[in-house]
């Protein structure tokens, strides 16, 4: 059987066609990878949310979501962990904000200088800040912790924790979720291919007139 020589340009064309059919997946953007690493860090280190200095990020929010559901003994134990200086600082921040809110409400018809919160006086005389929308209020310590973790987690991912060394996390390749990145790339590639296919269907093949030639 005689050998049939195939022109080199035909081989190169077939090779190019095969390569072009493979998924052209762009690299994961650095900003996305950094956020993914930060989320992965929080998954591996849930103790971040109970750090003694995290309350200082937003003492009023912590008071609204966590402290008002704690018993006296739980608060005392927490204060001992924080230390006298940190506990005093958080108390001052809460007291000043609540006093300002009370003064503002007494000098105007609005219940609060902020539209999204209201201040109520508890039976023991203390002032508590609550969400103005009753449906948004937490009613248990478990709900409070869940919301606290969600808000503080989003704050951490945005890079707003000034006391945290983000470089240790952002540069840690071991935190990369390779499987998840591959899944995201594959979805993006298939979306692009689908959009391209739909576009080709709309334009149709060039040169066709719709008239059959016999």
pLDDT, tens digit, 9 for 90 and up, residues 37-50? 999 999 999 999 98
pLDDT tens, residue by residue, 73-93: 998 998 888 888 888 888 888
Select the more confidently predicted residue: 209 or 65: 65
Query: Is the distance from CB of 114 to CB of 123 less than 8 angstroms?
Result: no
Say whether 142 sits in a helix, a strand or coil.
helix
Instruction: Express as a percent the part of the chain with pLDDT over 70.
Output: 64
To 5 degrees, how large is the angle CA 66–CA 106–CA 137? 25
DSSP codes joined into one string, 51-101: -TTGGGG-HHHHHHHTGGGS-HHHHHHHHHHH-HHHHHHHHHHHHHHHHHH
* Confidence label for 143 from pLDDT (cuts 50, 70 and 90): very high
Q: How far apart are CA 70 and CA 116, in angstroms?
A: 24
Buried b (16+ CB within 10 A) or exposed e, 184-210: ebeeeeeeeeeeeeeeeeeeeeeeeee
Cα 155 to Cα 57: distance, rounded to the nearest angstrom: 10
Question: Among the ranges 65-74, 116-125, 156-165, 176-185, which has the highest mean pLDDT value?
Answer: 156-165
Q: What are 39's two structure tokens? A: 């989320």
Question: What is the DSSP annotation of 150-196?
Answer: HHHHHHHHTT--TTS-THHHHT-GGG--HHHHHHHHHHHHHHHHHHH
pLDDT band (50, 70, 90) for residue 57: confident
Q: What does the pLDDT read at residue 4?
A: 55
DSSP assigned state of 45:
-
SS3 134: helix
Would you list the domain boundaries of the chain?
28-179
């Amino acid at each position: 059987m005689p050998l049939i020589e195939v022109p080199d340009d035909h081989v190169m064309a077939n090779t190019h066609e095969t390569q072009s059919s493979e998924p052209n997946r762009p690299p994961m953007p650095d900003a996305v990878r950094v956020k993914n690493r930060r989320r992965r860090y929080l998954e591996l280190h849930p103790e971040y949310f109970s750090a003694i200095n995290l309350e200082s990020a937003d003492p009023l929010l912590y008071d609204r979501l966590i402290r008002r559901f704690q018993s006296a003994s739980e608060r005392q134990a927490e204060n001992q962990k924080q230390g006298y200086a940190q506990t005093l600082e958080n108390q001052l921040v809460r007291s000043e904000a609540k006093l300002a809110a009370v003064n503002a409400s007494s000098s105007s018809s609005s219940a609060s200088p902020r539209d999204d919160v209201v201040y109520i006086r508890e039976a023991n005389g203390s002032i508590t800040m609550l969400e103005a929308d009753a449906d948004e209020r937490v009613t248990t310590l478990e709900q409070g912790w869940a919301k606290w973790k969600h808000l503080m987690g989003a704050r951490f991912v945005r890079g707003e924790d000034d006391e945290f060394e983000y470089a240790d996390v952002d540069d840690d390749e071991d935190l990369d979720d390779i499987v998840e990145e591959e899944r995201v790339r594959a979805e993006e590639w298939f979306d692009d291919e689908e959009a391209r296919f739909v576009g080709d269907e709309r334009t149709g093949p060039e040169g066709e007139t719709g008239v059959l030639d016999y």
